Amino acid sequence: MRLGRAIAGTVAVTVTLAVVGLGGAILAGPALIGGTATQILRDAGFTEAAVTVTSLRIADGWRGLRLEFAVDSGPLEAAAKALDLPMSGRVTLSGALVIGKDGGAVTVAPAGCLPAKAERLTVAGQPLGLPQGATLCPVGETPLLRWSPDAMTVVAELQAPRLEAPASDLRADKVVLRLAQDGDDRRADVVVAQLTNTTKPAPVVPLAVTMQAVQAGQGPWAIDGTAKGANGLLTVTLDGTYDQTAGAGKLEAVAKPFRLAADGPGLAAVSPLAATFLEKASGTLSGKATVALTAKGMTTSGQAVVKGLAGAAGPVTVAGVSGTIALSSLSPPVIPDGQKLSIGLLDVGIPLTDGTLLFGYGRDGRLDVDRAEWNWAGGLLRADPFELSPEKPKGRVTLHADRIDAAKLLNLIAVDGLAASGKLAGSLPVVFAGDKVTIDGGVLESSGPGTLRYDPAKPPPALKGEEGSPTAMLMGALTDFHYDTLRITIDGQAGGELSAGFSLRGSNPSFYDGYPVALNLKLSGALDRILRQNLDVYRIPDTLRDRMTGFDQKDP
């Protein structure tokens, strides 16, 4: 590293002065050493660097020369090419060094930690802030630098109470970076007590990070490490490379599978952002994130894997969600079109099961659904393509129904004594408005004849009538009604009341010789599945009405 050689050159000058003439060095050395060090740094690429030596004396215990100094890097843009690292800003370092000899090698040891400051620092186009500065410290009793004409080793520890990367919405607290160089081999070890994403809400909870980076000669850096958070629930392995010459690299973070308990804090335990979309979440999750650095800047991508995910998105309930989702960007999150999820249950006022969803999620924060299909009441529901904002869903989604089993459909309403047979088709408009989801004007119509039977063990009071009354006679007709046509309307709110209307034309073979009638039934059931509204006669021919009430009866 050119900077290391520059420091070593400065040290060599200092030791030479001490050996040749200690008295002269002490009298004239500070200015000479400072000037020489400045020139060496400038020759190394720091064209506006300045080194000032303010004091030079013999160190306690005759361990060498102690010099007090201040270094100003000057604009780092000038040194970026020489260091093979795109950077800008300014760095200052000050303190005291003890320079001595150990055999044929020159050693440099700081007298305590050396304070450092950075101004407008950027690395690879990313602004970095050190609001509380940093310190450069020795590692135990090991010299900061050991140099001889044929070898050089560097061991140092950089400590920063806080490091900020505002462009990436990241903040690192209690950062310790240990640097080591032995000849042409280099190693960096990083420990971050807490890495926080400052976005509100954050895509991930704070993490404790440990990383290592190793470079052999002028080859690329090899990076690995771990990150842990959420009280041990979240464990992430880190693996990557960085080519210093090309200014390009990649870091991949892989989250091990973890399980969210049904009675736990849900997604908020690992991702406050995800928790805003899905509350009361449970299931197994894993994934990976990739950060790539090129000369054009930094890009991110990722992948999320869910298995048996369940939860609530506003008034919508989901369960049994499984699949693998690709993300083309992590900040902001972008999901390309065509991602597939299987959904065991989606309840939007009516329970939809065994579904398939093909979707994407754009930078505008809207969910783009290309295909959505579910099994429902023995048939299939298919949605027209639609877009919604998961945060504030608003709009209409039309579901098209096909081959619906009338018997299974009525089981959803769960009215005691009500049963049917036949196949239905139609449409169900689902309206999203804030925290409410309603079915508005759903219509299902029969594709052929079938049956409708209503014979409750305990009819509700509204459907009880004296023998021979229209209500009693109508109840008798419905015990085995054979319809030619059936039209069902469905309206309701997720988490609220679900109502259905039946329009029928047909007859009961055992009721008044199978006389044809047209009926309209209005039923509604809340979530407790209690029949709340009565049955009304829509239209019964006068002749049949008279016969039902006995007006047309004749003596035998």
Q: 172 or 183: which carries more pLDDT confidence?
A: 172
**Predicted confidence band of residue 525 (pLDDT cuts 50, 70, 90):** low
**What is the rounded average pLDDT of the residues 203-219?**
95
**What is the rounded average pLDDT of the residues 299-309?**
95
- Joined tokens for residue 397: 């989604």
The answer to whether the CB of 269 falls within 8 A of the CB of 230 is yes
| 11 inside domain | no
**What is the rounded average pLDDT of the residues 540-545?**
38
pLDDT at 173: 98
| 44 inside domain | no
| 291 inside domain | no
Of 18-27, 137-146, 319-328, 409-418, the range with the lowest mean pLDDT is 18-27
Percent of the chain whose predicted confidence (pLDDT) is above 90: 50
Of 250-254, 301-305, 412-416, 448-452, the range with the lowest mean pLDDT is 412-416
**What residues does 189 pair with on adjacent strands?**
178, 212
CA 549 to chain centre: 68
Digit-coded pLDDT (tens) for 66-96: 999 999 999 998 888 777 677 899 999 999 9
- Side chain identity, residue 283: G
Percent of the chain whose predicted confidence (pLDDT) is above 70: 86
pLDDT reading at 1 higher than 70: no
pLDDT reading at 542 higher than 50: no
Neighbour tally for 51: CB within 10 Å: 22
Coil, helix or strand at residue 60: helix
The answer to whether the CB of 440 falls within 8 A of the CB of 432 is no
Inter-residue long-range contacts of 76-84, CB under 8 Å, 24+ positions, other chains counted? 76/46, 76/121, 78/45, 78/46, 78/47, 78/48, 79/44, 79/45, 79/46, 79/47, 81/45, 82/2, 82/44, 82/45, 82/46, 83/1, 83/2, 83/3, 83/45, 84/244, 84/245, 84/247
**Predicted confidence band of residue 545 (pLDDT cuts 50, 70, 90):** very low
Q: Which residue do the tokens 């260091």 mark?
A: 83
Q: Give the DSSP H or E segment for 15.
A: helix 2-20
Pairing of strands 114-123, 185-197: unpaired
pLDDT at 458: 81
Encode 256-270 in three state secondary structure.
EEEEECCCCCHHHHC
Digit-coded pLDDT (tens) for 407-446: 988 887 677 888 899 999 999 898 988 778 888 999 999 9
Q: Residue 551: which residues within 8 A CB-CB, separation 6 or more?
A: none
- Side chain identity, residue 455: D
pLDDT at 260: 95
Enclosing domain of residue 535 = 369-556
Q: What share of the chain is helix, strand, coil (3-state, %, to 5)?
A: 20, 55, 25
pLDDT at 478: 84
| 272 inside domain | no
**Predicted confidence band of residue 495 (pLDDT cuts 50, 70, 90):** low
The answer to whether the CB of 465 falls within 8 A of the CB of 472 is yes
Total residues belonging to the chain: 556
The number of CA neighbours under 13 Å toward the Cβ of 48 is: 11
Digit-coded pLDDT (tens) for 361-405: 998 888 899 999 998 889 999 999 999 887 777 889 999 999 999
pLDDT reading at 59 higher than 90: no
The answer to whether the CB of 296 falls within 8 A of the CB of 322 is no
The answer to whether the CB of 334 falls within 8 A of the CB of 361 is yes
**DSSP for residue 347:** E
**What residues does 300 pair with on adjacent strands?**
291
Cα(502)–Cα(75) distance, integer angstroms: 81
pLDDT reading at 556 higher than 60: no
Count Cβ atoms within 10 A of the Cβ of residue 420 and give its class: 0-12 exposed, 13-18 middle, 19 or more buried. Answer: buried
Name the residue among 176, 145, 132 with its Cα closest to residue 158. Answer: 176
Digit-coded pLDDT (tens) for 343-360: 999 887 667 889 999 999
Terminal-residue alpha carbon distance, the chain: 120
Q: Residue 200: which residues within 8 A CB-CB, separation 6 or more?
A: none
| 211 inside domain | no
pLDDT reading at 459 higher than 90: no
Look over the chain and give the mean of its residue pLDDT values, rounded to a whole number: 84
| 393 inside domain | yes
Digit-coded pLDDT (tens) for 120-145: 999 878 899 999 999 999 999 899 98
| 280 inside domain | no
pLDDT reading at 544 higher than 70: no
**Predicted confidence band of residue 14 (pLDDT cuts 50, 70, 90):** very low
Cα(472)–Cα(470) distance, integer angstroms: 6
Is the backbone of residue 103 left (phi > 0), alpha (psi -120 to 50) or beta? Answer: left
* Number of folded domains that form the chain: 1
Cα(169)–Cα(525) distance, integer angstroms: 50
Cα(427)–Cα(396) distance, integer angstroms: 12
| 467 inside domain | yes
Cα(91)–Cα(78) distance, integer angstroms: 13
pLDDT at 465: 66
